[in-house]
Amino acid sequence: MPAGAALRWSCTTGDGEWNAGRDRSGNRTANTVSDTGQAGAARSPRCVTLAPVTGTVLVLGGRSEIGLEVARRLAPGSTVVLAARRSADLDDEERELRAAGAAAVDRVEFDADDVARHREVLDGVLARHGRLDTVVVAFGILGEQARAERDVAHALAIVHTDYVAHVSVLTHLAQLLREQAGGTGRGGDLVVFSSVAGARVRRANYVYGSAKAGLDGFASGLADALHGSGVRLLLVRPGFVIGRMTAGMSPAPLSSTPAQVAAATVAALRAGRGEVWVPAALQPVFAGLRHLPRALWRRMPR
């Protein structure tokens, strides 16, 4: 194990995620985190060994709650690069990642909507850090459905951020990570967040849902194109996530927190999976909902 890295494994119970391992001094550590983020007792955990991470983790969307939760879990021994607008204001996020064990935290100015500068930003990160081991693409907006139905500019803004900007940055990243892999098979990992909103688009949020449907299709095709290149793409399909983006909204059934989405994402990443639904129960649910008559489907809430 590389010097300074923390050996960790992750266990899950009915109450939440349980992390354990050895700290940098070799002392065994263990803690439990329940679904509400409070300490609790682990019960009959199922465990997966997590390989030590000591590379560079890039989070595109450095203020994203889910992106930060993923980065926190990958932080021990790693360099974490937070890319966001107003990157000078990421002091709290940097402190959190350093407390989680990051070897270093860097900040990069990044505007997802400025697609003309995507390659410049990515080239700059590579120049500073040498390689990218994990890239978490975590930016996005929810927008307002009612406004988007009467304001074309707002509808286009949602689609631009949630689909067009993703197509741009993922295409650049695929090229860069393929080159990084060379003949070694070590190109790195891409993490992309789709949504169940794109699994079958609902009338209640069809602008956002259609953008996510497009992203889901693009990322699925890109994953197939990257097969055998040494670059892996993990596509994450969360349901309703209780967080800043959905503040004031009533949670839908089978909702998750950013921490729960991140725990499932990292577990899937470590297991080498290509897709993960969060929570897992949503996959069979939406397999059935695909067959719901349209007259009923159009009445479905957000």
Q: Reply yes or no on whether 163 is catalytic.
A: no
- SS3 of residue 137 by DSSP: strand
Largest CA distance in the chain: 62
Q: Give the amino acid at 282.
A: L
105, with CB counted inside 10 A (0-12, 13-18, 19+), is: buried
For residues 106 and 83, the answer to whether their CB atoms sit within 8 Å is: no
Q: Count Cβ neighbours within 10 Å for each residue of 230-253 and write b for 16 or more, e otherwise.
A: bbbbbbbbbbbbbbeeeeeeeeee
| Start-end of H helices in the chain | 65-74, 91-99, 118-129, 145-150, 152-159, 165-181, 206-226, 258-271, 282-289, 294-297
Of the listed 139, 163, 208, 277, which one is catalytic?
A: 208
For 58, other C-beta atoms within 10 Å of its C-beta total 27
Q: How far apart are CA 94 and CA 6, in angstroms?
A: 19
**Beta 231-238 vs 56-60: how paired, if at all?**
unpaired
Angstrom distance (rounded) from CA 47 to CA 49: 7
Any alpha helices (H) in 111-229, and if so which ranges? 118-129, 145-150, 152-159, 165-181, 206-226
Bridge partner list, 34: 16
Distance, CA of 81 to CA of 89 (rounded, Å): 14
Q: Which residues are catalytic?
A: 208
